[in-house]
A and B are shown apart, each in its own frame.
Chain A
Amino acid sequence: MNTEITRAGSSLNQEEHQSFHDLFEAYNGHEGDLVPLLQKTQEKYGYLSQEAINEISRFLKISENQIFGVATFYSQFRFNAPGRHSIKVCLGTACHVRGGQVLGEAVGRELDVLPGETTDDKRFDFQRVACLGCCALAPVIQIDSDIHSRMSVIRLKGILEKYE
């Protein structure tokens, strides 16, 4: 892809531009690439920054509005920087009937954080997810890539302490 590397008016330096364009390399710039591109960007940077949306908008030649429209539609995308660790509390049906909601509240209380936010010390970000697919082991929470099954409010504190 022949793309311009630096542009006036952008808050990114040349290196950061280059970093985005490395990401774009595998794509043709079709509209159908939007969701995969957003996923790749989030995989690399942890979230979708304003700058990232701007770069993608220029690359795919579609408006930032349209990109936000798509990105906010899907629950996977986040717009603030993640913490060092990521907590997902499962609120699937099986987890709900086994106390997932109380568990979610306990996480919020323990870390003083609301769903969708990151703690002030950047240690954890906290999300609620619809189902992690481990229903037989409910209730579950996921921290980074570890799934903690058959969770309880009292086990939570000890588990959180393992993540610094």
Chain B
Amino acid sequence: MNSFNTVRKTSLEKWQALQASKVPIIYLGAASCGIAAGAMEILEAIEKTLEEKKIEAKIIKVGCIGPCYLEPLMDIALPGKPRISYANVTPQKVPRIIESYLVKGNPEPRLALAHFGNGNHGFPEEIPGFFDLPMLKSQVRVVLRNCGLIDPEEIDHYIANDGYSGLMKGLLNGPEKVIEIVKEAGLRGRGGAGFPTFKKWEICRNTKAPQKFMICNADEGDPGAFMNRSLIEGDPHAVLEGLLIAAYAIGATHGYIYIRAEYPLAIARLKKAIGQMREYGFLGKNIQDSGFGFDITIKEGAGAFVCGEETALIASIEGKRGMPRSRPPFPAIAGLHGMPTIINNVETLGTLPNILRNGASWYRQYGTQGNYGTKTFSLVGKIRRSGLIEVPLGMTLRQIIFDIGGGSRKPFKAVQTGGPSGGCLSEEFLDTPVNYESLTAAGSIMGSGGLIVLDDDTCVVDLARYFLDFTQRESCGKCSPCRVGSRHMVEILQRITKGEGEAEDLTKLQTLGETVKRGSLCGLGQTAPNPVLTTLKYFRPEYLMHVKEKHCPAAVCRDLIEYRVVPGKCTGCQKCVSVCPTGAITGPRAEPHNLDPSKCIKCRACYEICRYDAIAGDAIIIKSARSTVDEQTV
């Protein structure tokens, strides 16, 4: 404990020195999403501008703070002042931002998005506080508390912000007490199923064995979900501290982090963080003189969605095909190499340090009865303010989608929770509180936290086909309900989206879906039909339109749509003619063009170029082939 106090003191000194920095600090959001949005070009522009203007400043690359739609984000902190955030930065904007604020000290409300100060900071009133922005106002940051605020590659930053003190508290109180606190806090597994975390631990702790293993499940395979990636990239030590706490509680001596190979930056961050832990005495035989010994190995997943399932994940670590096996025995009794093993999700682990540090009753202030705490979601799809969010459980879908996400541009149609294993919920569910039970009752699941918002331009039949196609490809093939059933369901859905469906197909889908749900061995098969069953239930008229009228109202299903030129709007600029790969569009300059549907391959090129590059902007429309809308009046 003494050694930890020394470590903590040094870290605090380093952190305070940074806060009192005499030179300005520029923080750049450089998680994978920030980089994808162009953070590295911004970095180059910042370095170039600083050099040209001969300004001394420190640049710190931080993780994702949440509002991805504002990326790239850069913040500037002048000595003695809180950070000011600039959004949607481009390399061209960088010199202007630096000149106005770094050089002249004028934060320019026109450029600035928000500030990170509280109270008397002397900024113009037009600049709001960052956490008062509509997207952030109703969020509660527990798991994500450090993301975007500290340098994820500096263990000192983490320790100075109370990092590892949860673990130290746990080590002082003993493993039984740790389990007790987690039980009291009411923490449930954040991987999706919501099983009480303490229960799994207790079973494992009470099983006698020569060795036990603790595994962090970072195989975030749900397409449309990136909460775990962001947390690891933005605050890797939070997850690692949680892993240590869990390992200590169950009595494990070795841990694995099973992470997708598609997340190279997250893997690099973990590797660096593990090196720092070793250096600071948080790994090895005798962690902080407590007598507790633990070490971690990183295992890169090789790309199989089913490996998110516990027994499949274990098979994969053992070097086999990642196929699930029937339970019991549960991994908590016989898991990796036959030894008791606990697998916890990244977010579950990231929550633990907070619970240990602040206590169970503190954690229970968030959420509702039986669903305590917060949950992170990736809010994506047809939504204005997309990004990573964290909210207390029990918030309604409406609050999440409209208050935080700002709703969709076109009319809201549905929200898919729980990724491919979840369901598609219609407008009538918007006031459903988000908790494990209510989502399950609606036919969906909480899942790991992907929230995909759909508007009128999304076809739910196509979406159901998409999800089923995904799970069908990812089915490991072990049990026939999943292997054969999901395949048949995809075939039926393909028929429907091609306009070849029949009325009885809907009954077939329903029966098959229920069979696959009941008969499959693991969670993948048991939940695979959810997208189909929920859309059949809540969007039946849309299926019927596809089947009976061969009409796709959202104008998505390939074989049921047509591209058309609206003669009254076409200015004859020939831009679409130049991009059409098949020569389907013809016509002389300055006269409305002609589109030959028999040559059109529906590649979208003409539609996009008309929208973004042409004068008319909307002369090319995508319509259901059955639509009778008069083109002149569109």
Contacts and interface: CB of A to CB of B under 8 A. Distances in A.
* A, B assembled together: yes
Contact of B263 (A91, A98, A133, A135): A133
Most buried by B among A73, A76, A145: A73
A74 B579 contact: no
A12 interface: no
Nearest to B455: A97
Interface in B294-339: 299-305, 316-322
Contacts of B68: 136-137
A53 interface: no
A93 B36 contact: no
A77 B302 contact: yes
B386 interface: yes
B463 interface: yes
Contact of A138 (B32, B303, B380, B387): B380
A92 B224 contact: yes
A94 interface: yes
A105 to B, nearest CB: 7
Interface string B424-451: 0000000000000000000000000010
Contacts of A153: 603-605, 608
16 contacts: A30-B319, A70-B319, A73-B476, A93-B467, A96-B466, A97-B452, A97-B454, A102-B603, A109-B603, A130-B305, A134-B33, A134-B226, A135-B226, A136-B71, A149-B36, A154-B612
A133 B266 CA distance: 11
B555 to A, nearest CB: 13
Nearest to A134: B36
Contacts of B304: 73-75
A135 B474 CA distance: 20
Interface in A106-164: 106, 109, 129-138, 140, 145, 147-149, 152-154
Given A109-B603, A140-B36, A147-B36, A91 B223 contact: yes
Contacts of B229: 133
B458 interface: yes
Nearest to A33: B319
A32 B378 CA distance: 33
A36 B265 CA distance: 18
Nearest to A60: B319
Given A34-B319, A93-B452, A130-B470, A74 B302 contact: yes
Contacts of B388: 136
A35 interface: yes
List the 5 closest A-B pairs by CB distance, nearest first: A136-B68, A92-B223, A74-B302, A93-B224, A75-B303
A87 B37 CA distance: 18
Contacts of B38: 149
Given A36-B300, A106-B603, A132 B319 contact: no
Contacts of B386: 135-136
B262 A135 contact: no
A99 to B, nearest CB: 7
A102 B602 CA distance: 8
B24 interface: no
Contacts of B579: 154
A128 B578 CA distance: 28
Contact of A135 (B224, B476, B605, B612): B224
A89 interface: no
Interface magnitude class on chain B: 35 or more
Nearest to B67: A136
A95 B470 CA distance: 13
B112 interface: no
Contact of B37 (A92, A145, A149): A149
Given A30-B319, A75-B302, A134-B226, A154 B608 contact: yes
B35 interface: yes
A147 B69 CA distance: 16
Contact of A39 (B261, B305, B382): B261
B224 A136 contact: no
Contacts of A91: 223
Contacts of A34: 319-320
A76 B380 contact: no
B587 interface: no
A70 B603 contact: no
Nearest to B383: A136
A31 interface: yes
A97 B37 contact: no
B302 A35 contact: yes
B581 interface: yes
B322 A74 contact: yes
Nearest to B307: A74
Contacts of B222: 131
Interface in A12-37: 30-36
A93 B470 CA distance: 10
Contacts of B609: 154
Contacts of B581: 109
Max count, chain B CB within 10 A of own CB: residue among A35, A105, A133, A140: A133
Interface string A67-83: 00110011111000000
B278 to A, nearest CB: 18
A97 B36 CA distance: 19
Interface string B446-479: 0000101010001000010011001000101000
Contact of B380 (A36, A94, A132): A94
B235 interface: no
A32 B318 contact: yes
Contacts of B603: 102, 105-106, 109, 153
Contacts of B379: 136
B221 interface: yes
B71 A35 contact: no
A73 B68 CA distance: 33
Contacts of B359: none
Interface string B348-392: 000000000000000000000000000000111110001110000
